[in-house]
Amino acid sequence: MQVAVIGAGSWGTAISWLLSGKGIHVSMWAREPEIALGINEEHHNPVYLPEVVLPQSVRASHDMEEVLRGAEAVVIVTPSHGVRETAGAMKPHLGSDIPVINLAKGVEGGTLMRMTQVVEDVIGGRERLAALSGPNHAEEVSKGVPSATVIAAYEDSVARMFQELFMAPSFRVYTNTDIIGVELGGASKNVIAVAAGMSDGLGFGDNTKATLMTRGLAEMSRLGRHLGANPLTYMGLAGMGDLIATCTSQHSRNRALGQWVAEGGTVDSYAEKTHMVAEGARSAVSVYELACSVGIELPITHQVKAALYEGASPDDARVLLMGRSARDELHGMDLIQD
């Protein structure tokens, strides 16, 4: 089988390693020609996960038409803010029956669309689209560390096809019919992870982080249910599983961003220092705006947005969150009860 992996960052590199290890021929699209050259000549990505050796069955190109030629499935692994542009570049070279799965986690600024909605808006064919999300740090997946994920699609047959495609001895894949919850969970948990990082930067302990994660999960669930998600999805890999990993891991860019800001840095200086995208920085705005558009309160997300973009200090956020009026723990959770 031939699969096109669109994106040659850390996650795209890890996914290419995973698929090629199953005997699948992988064609990678790299925005930077030098990355494609390094993969083809040296069999490793010279910028992202350079220690990962890619077999000769992985070939890379800067030419989208070349990468998509003969592909039987497409995996989009770009940052969320680049998905629309990427889908537009794919469209002239992509057959209408080729299944596409998106691995980017976010809500598009302005339109407030989920990622599969963005892809559908550009290339059409909702029935062939799927999303993958879970506690999957590229650094660990690419080393064969036992991991699991969840795939949701608009059609069950597409979810099952991608489940079989990605399933590997070190990578267990579940399916879920709730594509709304899987996608929104993946986007909103990144914002909570930024808050967890701020807690680390302020020197707080396990009590604080556990509180942020628990109450963060509550606001994630409230928003998802209001938009049609199954609240049980948030107890699974795309919700609690990904939240735990992203809030606690040394590999988490979002947690690291929060710590960086709490210690006096900025979103821009973090990006300049790491050359990495912390999706939570963008999602803090788009997820908050999505919640406002449907009248759902997200207090943690609101404070993260204020700390990142409005000059508020992380300690101000602590004071405001801890000073909120007393209420029942399940306040507002009637929205997730059928």
Q: What is the DSSP letter of 49?
A: S
Residue among 69, 70, 49, 67 nearest 58 (CA): 67
Q: Which residue among the candidates 22, 105, 143, 189 is catalytic per the annotation?
A: 189
Q: Is the dihedral of CA 93, 123, 163, 140 positive or negative?
A: positive
Report the distance separating Cα 242 and Cα 256, nearest Å.
Answer: 16
Secondary structure E strands in 112-146: 129-133
Would you call 201 exposed, middle or buried from its count of C-beta atoms within 10 A (0-12, 13-18, 19+)? buried
Residue among 245, 126, 227 nearest 183 (CA): 227
Residue with tokens 């705005």: 285
| 211 HSE (CA, 13 A, CB side) | 12
Ramachandran region, residue 203 (left: φ > 0; alpha: ψ -120 to 50; beta: rest) = left
Cα–Cα separations (whole angstroms), residue 190 to 201, 203, 330: 17, 20, 23
Q: Which residues, 6+ apart, have CB-to-CB distance to 272 below 8 Å?
A: none
Would you call 34 exposed, middle or buried from its count of C-beta atoms within 10 A (0-12, 13-18, 19+)? exposed
Would you call 197 exposed, middle or buried from its count of C-beta atoms within 10 A (0-12, 13-18, 19+)? buried
* 189 has catalytic annotation: yes
Catalytically active residues, by annotation: 189
